[in-house]
Structure formats: structure tokens, C-alpha cells
Chains A and B, each alone.
Chain A
Amino acid sequence: MTAPGNLERVLTSGGFAVTAECGPPRGADPELIRKKGGYLKGFVDAVNVTDNQTAVVRMSSMASCLILKEMGFDPVLQMTVRDRSRIALQSDILGAAALGIRNILCLSGDHQSFGDHPGAKNVYDIDSIQFIDMARAMRDEGRLSSGAEITVRPEIFIGCVENPFADPFDIRALRLAKKIGAGARFVQTQCVFNVEKFTRWMEMVRDLGLHEKAHILAGITPMKSPGMARYMKNSVPGMDVPDHLVERMASVPKEGHREEGVAICLETIERVRAIEGVAGIHIMAIEWEEIVPDIVRRAGLETRP
């Protein structure tokens, strides 16, 4: 075994982790990844790269992760089960591990009907929980889903997502328990706007002792405008933006929208940090990666462990 990746090191040492999301471009330009990476350098412990998020075609997560790795980041390879069968998923895990990409985040993925190719055929051969279990077995048992032996096991740190704001609410912690039982060791949540509901979910998570089995990072998204707040509230599945936040965004003059969004974000960070069992934050500044240093600095998190 080689030394763990940076994210695993920070989390297992008990540090409060900061990760950020980097959306790859709709094009083949590596400079765009390097530019986004440049904003984040020194402010985060790991960078997630989305996998054709919202089912819109982007540069592959694997390629983008490698570019970020070459810049010195510890990338988190997001992998959805929407577009790949168990054959392709396992192949990509082996490939990622061979490239030194340590962190794998296993997701279902947004349905293709939301994206730019609604006529595409989806795969969904396995679901995200089965995917986590498969990745874990590849690493721990050295075998593929078929039972065939792997010559060199992939050294990976396996993560999952969970949406505390989806329904039915009362099984959301139980579903996380399944993911952790399958092998997830870090968790990045859906964007937290409704802190009260997130707090209730964390209570259920603690009741099941899940915070002691996996590191939970709260999702944080700065809002740019009241329009974005309303869009997320009404049009993004599984997103819970309380009315008072939409109103608050709308209550300030246009030139103050971004600052208000950052202010809400900083308040959210402060509140989720105080919740027992929250091991870090995951900042998803959608097409606004340059704001991340500002958020990290103002949240008093600029000294990375």
C-alpha cells in the first residue's frame, strides 16, 4: 500500500476538510481546467470533477482529474452509473487507480432527460450502492464483480453522495447507512440551504452512528442571484431552498446579489461546522470557482492541514 491521498489523510487525521467542485468544459481545452484549478490551489484538500453533470456532455471526469493531478491536486473522480455498465465502471476504476487518481465518488447520475441528449439510451446496469460495493470488493477482496481475480488491486478511497432533502425523509439516513455498509468512507451531501432540515438529518445519522464510520462533508453552494435561488428551488430535483433565502437574495440591490450569496454561504458553513459529525464542507460553486478562495478565507479555513 502506498500512502493515502490527501483527502483521506486530512479526514482520517481529524482535520476539517474542504473540497471543491470543478465543472469540466464543453470542449477539449485543458487550459480551462488548469484555470479553474488555479483558483482553487492552496485552498482545498481535494477537487471533485463532475461526470457529465445534469447529463450534459463535458470533458471526461477522468481526463480532467489527471490534469488536476498534474497540477498537484488530489482529485475526486465522480462516476455515475447512468452511462456505463459494470464492465466500463470497473475498467475505469482500474484506469483511474493506474493514473494515481485515489478518490472515487459513486453516484446514480442525473437522468438523461434533463441534459442535452434527452434521446440517449441510459445504462443503469447497477445502482450507486451496488457500485460502491463493487469498488470496495475490487480494492479489499481483489476481485471483479464476476468473481475474477484482479492482478493489482486499485488503491482507492470510496465516497458517496446523499441528499438529506429528498423524500422520503425518514429513510434518508437509512439509505446512507446502506451506502456506508457497502463501503463508502466519505460522503458529500446535496447543497445545504435548509440548515434546520440538515440538522435533523444529521441527528438521524448520529443515531445510526454513521458519522463514526464515514466522514460527512456538507455541500455548500453560493448563490449568484435571486434568479438562481428560484431556479434551484423550483427546477432542480432534490434541491431545498427555503423561501426566506430566496426573499433575502431578492431583497438586496442587484450589485449586492453575489455578496449576499457569499454571506448566506458563510453563515451556512458556520452553522454546519457546529453540528456534531460534520467532517468538512464540499463547495460547489457552479461556474463560479473563482469565488472559492474568498469563501474559504472568510470562513477562516485558509490554513489547510
Chain B
Amino acid sequence: MIVADRKPFDEIMGMIESCERILLVGCNECVTVCAAGGAKEVALLASQIRMKRKAEGRPVEVDEKTLERQCDPEYVNPLAETLEGYDAVLSIACGCGVQLIAETCRGLRVLPGLNTRFMGVTEEHGMWAERCQGCGDCVLDRTGGICPVTRCAKSIMNGPCGGSQNGECELRQDTPCAWQLIIDRLKASGELSRYGEIAKPRDWSTSRDGGPRKRIREDMRI
């Protein structure tokens, strides 16, 4: 899923400083699961904004809405018809959702209420961690199912670097060294001999280095 964090409240208040009526839009997908931008968070943030502005003597009208998916025109297009009278749309979806609303609802300010962080998994209740950078050329078959591009701070393909200590990355004590994990997995599956192969330089053109990416399935297009 895409994991996000709510922006600091003061930053959000700064964005809507001049607004008198806004629409706060959440998303029912990833950001609901990571408790950053679902219906619950929409209700909470809307109340906080109203209370703060009321206390300042400049009340703001905040309408609430949570779309099934903010990254899908099927749900965003109908929204565009209902925006009459709003000064801005404050989206608490990931950056994809914010941008699709901006593309769809032209002429209206669209503001991000979240900082989109990463593609990841739920590690524990209330804890999410990055697992994939969408590099476009998956190597997990060769690395014991652990992604060195994402999980090694230096994206080393022939690791570990000299900073790996006690199973942890040199950057932070609570971050496992990806290459320690890879080697442990290769040992467990009897594949350690693969460690001797030198992984060649990657072709990063499939990653964001190749420019904005697009996927087209001609057979599905209408």
C-alpha cells in the first residue's frame, strides 16, 4: 500500500488561511488502511480545522467527503460536478489522489493534507515500513525476496557495505541491514553460492530516472 502521514496541523492551517469554505476529501484505499486519510481522519481533521478557526474568530465551513479511490477518474469525475462555491479542495489522499483531483477540478485550488511517504507493508499494528520503490525491474528472485534497492540505504546490489553492524544499517539502529537479511535468507535456502556472482550495473531507465512512467494496455483501452 501507499503509506502517508498527515502534514503538521499548522502547515494545513496555513494553506487554507484565506479560505471560507473548503471540501475535505479522503480516500477509502491505502490511506484508510494506514490511518492517514480515510473517513475517520477526514472527520477528525474537519473538526480540528473548524474548532481552530472558530477560536480565532474566523469560522470556516468544512464539508467532508471520502471517495472510494482518489486515483481513479470513475470516482473523481463525479466530484468535479459538486465543487460550486468552494474556495479549495483539501485532499488527504496520497499524492496521486491530490493530483488527479487537481487535473479533474480545474480552476480550483487543490491542497495536499498529507505527505506521501512510501510503498510498504504493515509490520505491526500502527507500524508501516517501506518495501518497494517501483524501480520497474524486480530483482527479488536473486536476493532472497528482500529488496536491496529499497531497503539498503545505498541501494547496493553487491552488499553489504562496511557499515553493517549487528544486523543493523549504519543509518539507524532500528533499521535492519538489507544485505544481512539477504545473506541470512540465501544461507537458509542453501543459495549462498549465488553471493559470489557480481550483480551488474542496473538499467535505471525503468525507474523514475527514465522520466515519468506510464503503462498502457492496448487491449483494455476503449
Contact = CB atoms under 8 A, between A and B. Distances in A.
Interface of A: 82, 86, 108-111, 113-114, 122, 124-130, 133-134, 145, 161-163, 166-168, 171, 174-175, 177-178, 181-182, 190, 237-238
Main secondary structure of the interface of B (DSSP, over half): loop
B82 interface: no
B161 A108 contact: yes
A124 B165 contact: no
Interface string B174-186: 0001001001100
Contacts of A163: 162-163
A177 B195 CA distance: 11
Contacts of B111: none
A209 to B, nearest CB: 14
Given A124-B156, A127-B156, A167 B167 contact: yes
A54 to B, nearest CB: 11
A8 B177 CA distance: 35
Given A108-B154, A111-B170, A145-B201, A166 B196 contact: no
- B: interface residue count bin: 20 to 34
Contacts of B183: 168, 171
Interface of B: 153-167, 170-171, 177, 180, 183-184, 195-196, 198-202, 204
Contacts of B195: 171, 174
A237 B160 contact: no
Contacts of B201: 86, 125-126, 130, 134, 145
29 contacts: A82-B154, A86-B201, A108-B161, A109-B154, A111-B153, A111-B171, A113-B153, A122-B154, A124-B155, A124-B156, A127-B154, A127-B159, A128-B161, A129-B158, A133-B198, A162-B162, A163-B163, A166-B161, A166-B163, A167-B165, A168-B164, A168-B183, A168-B184, A171-B195, A174-B195, A175-B158, A182-B198, A238-B163, A238-B170
A133 B157 CA distance: 13
A234 B196 CA distance: 31
